[in-house]
C-alpha cells in the first residue's frame, strides 16, 4: 500500500512540511533504517550480550551520521533527534536507543560545558559515543534524584596544581556502556572538601577501576546495550561539567547535577514519548500492509482504531514538546512562557505515551489474530513499550512533575483560555469531537479547583503530595486532554494547508482526532467522579457542588454522541482503505 498520503499528512501535522532540512532528516533516517539497518538486524541474533552483529549495526549508524546529530545541529536539535528516533524506532527500538549514544551524554556538555570540554567531547570521531550514568542501585537515585550515593572527594593535587577527584559511582540499567568512549556520571560531594553535586566526565583510561558491568537481562530492547557499571577512578577536577570554583578551602562545582540535566531531560522525555508513539503507528501501518491482519476480527480492528488514534495523539503531543524545546533553546530565556510550558509538556508527552500505548498494544495483542508472526511482533512491541517507560524515570516521576506544575495559577489561567479557544473551534467544526474536548477540559479544571479546597474535619487536604491517588490520577487525565488538544490543533493544520474538506486524508484524521478527544473526555469524567465523590463522607461535597458537577458531566455525556460510529469508521478504513 502506498503510504505517501500518510507521510504528507504527518509532515503537515508535525510542522515540518515547510522545512526542506527537516524533511531531508526524516528521509535520510528512513532510508537508512530500512535499506541499511533492517538487513543487519535480520542477520543479528538478539541476545543480552554485546555481539559483533550489534557492533556492525552501530558502525552503520556512525557511517550514516545518525549518532552525530548533536554535533552537526546548530539549532532545532530536539526536532532533528525526534525525526531520527522516530524512523529508527519504527524498525527497532533498541537501534533507536543506540543512536542516542551520540547525543544524551553530550547534551550537558553542549549546554554548560567549558570550552576545553566542548572541544574534546563534541564532534570528535574517537569520542563519538557517551553514556549518561544517573540511576543507581535501589533504593538509590533515578533521573530526578535530589541526593546521590555516587561520591566525589579530594584525592590530591596534580603536578600542575589542579585538584584531583576520587570518584565512586555504581550505575544501574545504564545504556550504551558496552561501547561508550566516555561516561558522564552524577556524583555528590563529600560535604567537606567538595560541596554540592555535579556531573563528572570519566574515561576508560583514567586511573582506577572503569568496569563496564555485566549485561542486564531484559525481554525487550535486545539490540540496545544496558549494563550495571562500576567506577572507582581518580580524575582531574577540570572534568566537572561547567567547571568549579574554590570557596573557603572547599571545591564547589559551578552547576549542580540537577541544573546540568534540566535541558537534556526535558528534550529526552519528549523523544522517548515519540519512540513509543512510533511503535503504535508502525503497528497500524503493518496492519494496513498485511492482508491477513486486515481480514482479522471486527474486535481486533476496533482495537487497532483505538491504537491509531492514541498513537497520533501521542505523536502530536511529543512533536509539540520538541518544538517548545527548540524554541526555548533559541531564546535561552528560562523565565519565558515556553520554559514553563516545556516543564509540563515534555513529561506529559512521555507519560501519555508510556501509559496509553502499552494499554492499547496489550488489548490488540490479546486477540491473538490469525497470523502468529504478527501476534508475536505485537507482543514484542508491547514489551519494548513497557521497558521505555523506565527510561528517564518511570511513570511516577513524570506524574510528579506534571502534578506539581498543573496547579500553577498562571497555567490554570492559560488552560482556561485554551478551553475557550477549543469552544470557538467547535463552532466551526461541530462534528470534530472538539465539543467533547472542551467539556472535558472544563470538567477537569472545575474538579481540580474543588479537590484543592476539600478538607476533612482535622483540616487535612484531599489534594496534597502525600495523596498520590488524587494528584497522579488528575495528572493522567490532564495528559489525555493535552494530547487530544495537540492532535486537534494539528488536524486544523491540514485544513489550512488547503486540503479538500472531503478528501480521504482530512476525513480520516478528523475521525482520529474525534476519537482521541472523546476518549480523553470520557476518562476525565470517570476520574473526576471517582475523586470528587469517592472520598465522601470524609471529604464532603455540598449539594450545590453535586448539582454543578452533574450538569457539567451531562454536557460532556451529550457531547460524546457519535463517538462509537467514529471508531467504527476508522476500523472500516483500516480494513478496506475506504471511508464510510
Per-residue model confidence (pLDDT) at position 442: 98
Q: Which residues contact 210 (CB under 8 A, 6 or more apart)?
A: 202, 203, 204, 231, 233
Task: Band the pLDDT of 290: cuts 50, 70, 90.
Answer: confident
Q: What are the start and end residues of each CATH 1.20.140.10 domain in the chain?
A: 406-576
pLDDT, average across residues 530-545: 91
Per-residue model confidence (pLDDT) at position 501: 45
Task: Band the pLDDT of 289: cuts 50, 70, 90.
Answer: confident
Estimate to the nearest angstrom the gap between the alpha carbon of 532 and the chain centroid.
Answer: 30
Per-residue model confidence (pLDDT) at position 391: 85
pLDDT, average across residues 539-568: 94
User: Could you report the per-residue pLDDT of 44-95, keeping only the tens digit for each?
Assistant: 777 788 988 899 999 999 999 999 999 887 778 999 999 999 999 999 999 9
Exposure b/e, 21-53, CB count within 10 A at least 16 = b = ebeebbebbbebbeeebeebbeebeeeeebeeb
Per-residue model confidence (pLDDT) at position 500: 47
Residue 168's CB is within 10 A of a number of other CB atoms, namely 17
Q: Which residues contact 543 (CB under 8 A, 6 or more apart)?
A: none
State how far the Cα of 401 lies from the Cα of 449, in Å rounded to an integer.
Answer: 19
State the pairing for strand pair 197-202/182-189: antiparallel
Q: Is the pLDDT of residue 502 over 50?
A: no
Q: Is the pLDDT of residue 193 over 90?
A: yes
Per-residue model confidence (pLDDT) at position 4: 83
Task: Band the pLDDT of 371: cuts 50, 70, 90.
Answer: low
* Closest C-alpha to 552, from 447, 431, 419: 447
State how far the Cα of 570 lies from the Cα of 300, in Å rounded to an integer.
Answer: 12
Q: Which DSSP string corresponds to 234-284?
A: EEEGGGBTT-EEEETTEEEESS-HHHHHHHHHHHHHHHHHHHHHHHHHHHH
Q: Which of 21-30, 264-273, 491-500 has the lowest mean pLDDT?
A: 491-500
Local structure of residue 351 (DSSP, 8 states): H
CB 44 within 8 A of CB 57: yes
Q: Is the pLDDT of residue 457 over 90?
A: no
Per-residue model confidence (pLDDT) at position 76: 84
Percentage of the residues of the chain whose pLDDT score is greater than 70? 94
Q: Is the pLDDT of residue 542 over 70?
A: yes
State how far the Cα of 480 lies from the Cα of 314, in Å rounded to an integer.
Answer: 9
Q: Which DSSP string corresponds to 286-330?
A: HHHH-HHHHTS-HHHHHHHHHHHHHHHHHHHHHHHHHHHHHHHHH
| CA dihedral (58, 62, 64, 69) positive or negative | positive
Task: Band the pLDDT of 298: cuts 50, 70, 90.
Answer: confident
Per-residue model confidence (pLDDT) at position 497: 76
Q: What are the start and end residues of each CATH 2.40.110.10 domain in the chain?
A: 129-255
Q: Is the pLDDT of residue 555 over 90?
A: yes
User: Could you report the per-residue pLDDT of 147-158, keeping only the tens digit for each?
Assistant: 788 999 999 999
Answer CATH for 406-576 from 1.20.140.10, 3.40.50.300, 3.40.920.10, 3.40.50.720: 1.20.140.10
Per-residue model confidence (pLDDT) at position 564: 95
User: Could you report the per-residue pLDDT of 413-428, keeping only the tens digit for each?
Assistant: 999 999 999 999 999 8
Percentage of the residues of the chain whose pLDDT score is greater than 90? 67
Q: Is the pLDDT of residue 519 over 90?
A: yes
Q: Is the pLDDT of residue 176 over 90?
A: yes
Task: Band the pLDDT of 143: cuts 50, 70, 90.
Answer: low
Give the N- to C-terminal CA distance of the chain in Å, as an integer.
19
Q: Which of 228-232, 263-267, 494-498 has the lowest mean pLDDT?
A: 494-498
pLDDT, average across residues 206-218: 93
Give me the CATH topology for the region 129-255. Butyryl-CoA Dehydrogenase, subunit A; domain 2 (2.40.110)
* Closest C-alpha to 202, from 162, 160, 161, 150: 150
Mean pLDDT, the chain, as a whole number? 90
Task: Band the pLDDT of 139: cuts 50, 70, 90.
Answer: low
Per-residue model confidence (pLDDT) at position 73: 79
Amino acid at each position: 500500500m502506498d503510504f505517501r498520503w500518510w507521510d504528507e499528512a504527518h509532515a503537515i501535522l508535525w510542522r515540518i512540511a515547510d522545512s526542506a532540512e527537516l524533511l531531508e532528516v526524516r528521509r535520510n533516517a528512513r532510508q537508512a533504517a530500512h535499506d541499511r539497518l533492517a538487513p543487519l538486524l535480520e542477520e543479528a541474533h538478539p541476545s543480552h550480550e554485546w555481539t559483533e552483529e550489534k557492533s556492525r549495526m552501530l558502525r552503520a549508524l556512525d557511517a550514516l551520521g545518525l549518532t552525530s546529530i548533536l554535533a552537526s545541529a546548530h539549532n532545532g536539535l530536539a526536532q532533528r533527534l525526534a525525526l531520527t528516533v522516530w524512523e529508527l524506532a519504527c524498525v527497532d527500538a533498541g537501534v533507536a536507543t543506540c543512536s542516542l549514544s551520540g547525543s544524551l551524554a553530550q547534551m550537558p556538555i553542549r549546554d554548560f560545558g567549558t570550552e576545553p570540554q566542548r572541544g574534546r567531547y563534541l564532534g570528535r570521531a574517537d569520542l563519538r559515543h557517551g553514556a549518561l550514568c544517573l540511576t543507581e542501585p535501589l533504593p538509590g537515585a533515578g533521573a530526578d534524584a535530589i541526593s546521590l550515593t555516587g561520591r566525589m572527594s579530594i584525592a590530591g593535587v596534580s603536578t600542575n596544581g589542579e585538584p584531583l577527584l576520587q570518584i565512586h559511582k555504581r550505575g544501574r540499567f545504564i545504556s550504551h556502556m558496552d561501547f561508550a568512549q566516555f561516561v558522564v556520571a552524577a556524583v555528590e560531594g563529600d560535604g567537606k572538601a567538595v560541596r554540592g553535586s555535579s556531573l563528572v566526565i570519566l574515561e576508560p583510561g583514567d586511573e582506577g577501576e572503569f568496569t563496564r558491568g555485566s549485561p542486564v537481562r531484559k525481554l525487550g530492547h535486545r539490540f540496545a546495550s544496558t549494563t550495571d557499571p562500576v567506577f572507582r577512578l581518580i580524575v582531574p577536577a577540570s572534568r566537572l561539567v561547567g567547571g568549579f570554583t574554590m570557596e573557603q578551602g572547599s571545591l564547589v562545582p559551578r552547576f549542580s547535577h540537577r541544573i546540568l540535566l534540566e535541558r537534556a531531560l526535558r528534550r529526552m522525555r519528549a523523544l522517548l514519548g515519540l519512540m513509543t508513539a512510533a511503535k503504535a503507528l508502525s503497528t497500524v501501518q503493518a496492519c494496513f500492509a498485511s492482508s491477513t491482519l486486515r481480514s482479522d476480527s471486527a474486535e481486533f480492528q476496533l482495537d487497532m482504531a483505538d491504537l491509531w488514534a492514541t498513537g497520533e495523539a501521542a505523536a502530536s503531543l511529543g512533536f509539540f514538546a520538541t518544538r517548545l524545546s527548540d524554541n526555548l533553546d533559541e531564546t535561552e530565556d528560562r523565565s519565558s512562557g515556553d520554559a514553563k510550558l516545556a516543564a509540563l509538556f515534555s513529561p506529559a508527552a512521555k507519560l501519555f505515551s508510556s501509559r496509553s500505548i502499552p494499554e492499547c498494544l496489550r488489548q490488540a495483542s490479546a486477540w491473538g489474530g490469525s497470523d502468529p508472526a504478527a501476534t508475536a511482533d505485537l507482543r514484542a512491541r508491547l514489551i519494548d513499550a513497557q521497558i521505555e517507560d523506565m527510561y528517564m524515570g518511570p511513570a511516577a516521576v513524570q506524574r510528579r512533575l506534571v502534578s506539581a506544575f498543573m496547579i500553577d495559577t498562571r497555567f490554570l489561567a492559560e488552560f482556561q483560555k485554551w478551553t475557550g479557544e477549543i469552544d470557538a473551534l467547535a463552532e466551526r467544526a461541530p462534528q470534530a469531537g472538539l465539543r467533547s474536548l472542551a467539556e472535558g477540559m472544563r470538567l477537569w479544571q472545575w474538579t481540580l479547583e474543588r479537590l484543592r479546597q476539600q478538607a476533612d474535619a482535622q483540616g487535612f487536604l484531599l489534594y496534597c503530595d502525600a495523596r498520590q491517588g488524587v494528584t497522579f490520577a488528575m495528572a493522567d487525565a490532564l495528559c489525555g486532554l493535552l494530547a487530544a488538544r495537540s492532535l486537534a490543533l494539528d488536524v486544523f493544520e491540514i485544513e489550512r494547508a488547503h486540503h479538500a474538506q472531503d478528501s480521504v486524508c482530512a476525513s480520516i484524521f478528523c475521525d482520529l482526532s474525534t476519537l482521541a478527544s472523546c476518549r480523553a473526555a470520557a476518562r476525565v469524567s470517570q476520574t473526576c467522579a471517582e475523586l470528587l465523590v469517592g472520598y465522601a463522607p470524609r471529604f464532603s461535597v455540598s449539594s450545590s457542588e453535586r448539582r454543578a458537577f452533574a450538569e457539567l458531566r451531562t454536557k460532556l455525556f451529550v457531547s460524546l454522541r457519535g463517538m462509537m460510529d467514529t471508531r467504527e469508521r476508522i476500523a472500516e478504513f483500516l480494513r478496506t482503505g475506504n471511508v464510510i
